[in-house]
Structure 1
């Protein structure tokens, strides 16, 4: 038996986001000057993409005087229509459109800014986009002045730049001055970098020097290591020439320090200065390696025969940081981060490997176990890139040194084992080359 009851109507499911939007709209309209009874001669309807719609009556004179968009809609042939209905469809945010209508009733720009003071950057960006869409010039100007005056978080900064780049507003340059340099030459940028590096290298306060070294290294590394970090930005980089200018200064300073320190009685102050200059050079070389432009420095360092001779005359407790630079380069070459010719690799080891062996005991005192392993792996790799006869020369020398010094010498027996197998166990059989002879064959 069928029931005679009427079916119960289905209620629309409750939509929290719609409810919040309606509440925000209600707050905006509660202070709207056009909500007084009998006010307004233009019916304006704002409809969101989801169908949410709000209709209000606004004053035609206000719309026409403040918005070129409404002027185009309401003025026909120079005559203002007495009654009109306007609908704005597919609004991104009905609340923001209504708020722009409220702000069109402001007496001047100062009144406008007083009403938006304390609002967040994202709210102002939303207003700016709607002001632009409605061609509300006073609103655009006030929003830009507001953005220019308030601080931004890093995330807000990215959104400000993105929105202004999309809008292409004619008067946004004062806002963007905060993040965009005026047209500049690469030499001017290099002058700034050079001044920063020089300041760090010559810093008098040791703690401040270490902090600024760390800061500059992190900032130079950041743009390369963060995916998408520079998307949409013009990247201003320090030039290779400027970095090498700094390197040459550091090498020259190191030679002068060593020359002065070895010319007379031991001067503890000068000895400490050697360690500081070596630390400075190690920092700059680390940046060269990070940027994959250290090949020329490997050649420069391999040619420092005078510096290597002076190095031997300085007590190991002061000079061992110089050998860290050699270790840096061996690690970079061993990892394939620096591609240098065979002759340069041989010259580097010929000039500095014995000094590194001498200093290794002191080097490992201030290092972690992992650092020692990196140095040993780097030495293994760079030696194994050489021709077999040169592998033998360097590894036989290491063999004698290791038996004499033990743990105070880097342990590169892995390279020794590979050389041994290459030389005595797995010698490749060289096939005779195929020869082709062309001759006439009689018929």
Structure 2
């Protein structure tokens, strides 16, 4: 409000009193007469002149040399502006002895790349009120609006705001809206500001948006692969790593709880007793199909977390799933059940474990020694069962999943203290069921352990 008061004060100080009939207007720095822009029912001259902000070194003794533009305007039309209405009111009328009813007003115009343009357009609107014909693009409204605010032309201000509220903006136009918004009355600027900023009461809207995107990628689109790729790109480019970390952790925990619930229903002895065989088989089939689908979603989330190096909580949670691992072992030992109803489940679970374990081995995800040990201890039994059932499955399964996970687990064991590694290595003897030439990873792991175990204690007394 103080800015508009200063603008009104600066402009009114340059208002000339009524004088003798004006001579033909002239352009700046020229002795030739300039064309006079005249509006209908004109009875007043208005001179627009550039008003550059003077510096202390400027010579301000020749203001008449500044560029100007003369217009022949209607005082009745100018009265639509509260600023001009005040200037033309009784307080600003000439003395009764004035010899001429005609007069001239002066209005200072800030220096810009298009001098006088916005002021002329606003003056034209004061005479025509043709807002629809004049305001055809956001740039038009943004050029006109500051002048309309300066001259207190309320109808024009309202028209500009209504237009800006209803149309899209470019990034530069949005920046201009933000610059001018503080000059607008709060109620008139509310709709504009709602597009570029959130209300103070809004709570973590970015998190809510990311949650919605992940949910849609998993559940809500008929082309999930393309949608998941797009959401993955948005997550990777999102500027707040902490926000993405939190959202992915919550989505991972939600999917994990669903898988645990479904597998728990399958393994529950109460369910097996309470339901007759036909109904039980139908329900179990539905549960296993849902489990496969949710493990697929879980694997996609794990991929995103590992790629963005925010999988530390996921590794910790996965290392604690002793009950889930036990339920999966029960399922996998029931060959007829999972082969008929969920043939892809062993491969999916192995891939989830492999992706998390491999991120630990190569340093993408840093977790404590206790978490590394629990990860191997919890999921090694599942790996052993998967190895046993892999042979009847398609030829690529065993080499591309189980053996990779064997090697990764042995590498994690190599990062543990000698005594902890001893306990886990003894559970890895099943890796030697192939010929010695095919289990060099196990041979290397034991040689490393024996070399370390034979070394004299370090840092203690002799």
TM range (shorter): 0.5 to 0.7
Which residue in 1 is equivalent to 2:14?
A: none
Q: Is the 8 A contact 2:350 2:402 kept in 1?
A: no
Which residue in 2 is equivalent to 1:344?
A: 371
Which residue in 2 is equivalent to 1:14?
A: none
Aligned in 2, Cα 1:146/1:116: closer, same or farther, shift over 3 Å? Answer: same
Aligned in 2, Cα 1:237/1:429: closer, same or farther, shift over 3 Å? Answer: closer
Aligned in 2, Cα 1:245/1:395: closer, same or farther, shift over 3 Å? Answer: closer
Which residue in 2 is equivalent to 1:146?
A: 163
Shift of 1:280: 1.9
Are 1:126 and 2:179 counterparts? Answer: no
Shift of 1:350: 1.0
Which residue in 1 is equivalent to 2:296?
A: 279
Secondary structure in structure 1 of the residue aligned to 2:238: helix
Q: Is the 8 A contact 1:292 1:338 kept in 2?
A: yes
Q: Is the 8 A contact 2:42 2:72 kept in 1?
A: no
Aligned pairs for 1:402-441 (under 5 A) are 404=434, 416=445, 419=448, 423=452, 430=458
Which residue in 1 is equivalent to 2:22?
A: none
Cα distance in 2, alignment partners of residues 225 and 430 from structure 1: 44
Shift of 1:84: 3.1
- When structure 1 is superposed on structure 2, of 181-190 and 303-312 the one drifting more is 181-190
Shift of 1:295: 3.8
Q: Find 1:88's aligned residue among 102, 109, 115.
A: 109
Q: Is the 8 A contact 2:41 2:74 kept in 1?
A: no
Shift of 1:112: 0.7
Aligned pairs for 1:240-279 (under 5 A) are 242-243=250-251, 246-256=254-264, 258-259=266-267, 271-279=288-296
Shift of 1:100: 3.2
Q: Is the 8 A contact 1:323 1:356 kept in 2?
A: yes
Are 1:387 and 2:408 counterparts? Answer: no
Q: Is the 8 A contact 1:200 1:209 kept in 2?
A: yes
Shift of 1:279: 0.9
Q: Is the 8 A contact 1:331 1:377 kept in 2?
A: no
Cα distance in 2, alignment partners of residues 408 and 140 from structure 1: 81
1:192-235 deviation digits (Å, cap 9, x = unpaired): 776765666555x7x44444444444434432289xxxxxxxx9
Gaps of 5+ in 2: 1-33, 54-64, 95-102, 333-338
Cα distance in 2, alignment partners of residues 191 and 38 from structure 1: 59
Q: Is the 8 A contact 1:380 1:414 kept in 2?
A: no
Which residue in 2 is equivalent to 1:401?
A: 431
Q: Find 1:309's aligned residue among 326, 329, 353.
A: 326
Shift of 1:421: 11
Shift of 1:378: 6.5
1:297-344 deviation digits (Å, cap 9, x = unpaired): 433322222321232333563321122222232244345554433212
Cα distance in 1, alignment partners of residues 238 and 369 from structure 2: 32
Cα distance in 2, alignment partners of residues 173 and 236 from structure 1: 30
Q: Is the 8 A contact 1:289 1:337 kept in 2?
A: yes
Aligned in 2, Cα 1:129/1:250: closer, same or farther, shift over 3 Å? Answer: farther
Q: How many residues align?
A: 382
- When structure 1 is superposed on structure 2, of 136-145 and 95-104 the one drifting more is 95-104
Q: Is the 8 A contact 2:47 2:68 kept in 1?
A: no
Q: Find 1:166's aligned residue among 169, 176, 179.
A: 179
Please, what TM-score do these two structures have when normalized by structure 1?
0.63
Q: Find 2:69's aligned residue among 49, 55, 74.
A: 55
Aligned in 2, Cα 1:98/1:83: closer, same or farther, shift over 3 Å? Answer: closer
Which residue in 2 is equivalent to 1:224?
A: 239
Q: Could you say what the CA RMSD is over the residues aligned between the two structures, in angstroms?
A: 5.4
Please, what TM-score do these two structures have when normalized by structure 2?
0.61
Q: Is the 8 A contact 1:131 1:137 kept in 2?
A: yes
Q: Is the 8 A contact 1:384 1:415 kept in 2?
A: no
Structure with more contact order per residue of length (Cα contacts < 8 Å, sep ≥ 6)? 2
Are 1:101 and 2:149 counterparts? Answer: no
Shift of 1:401: 1.6
Which residue in 2 is equivalent to 1:34?
A: 38
Aligned in 2, Cα 1:194/1:373: closer, same or farther, shift over 3 Å? Answer: same
Secondary structure in structure 2 of the residue aligned to 1:43: strand
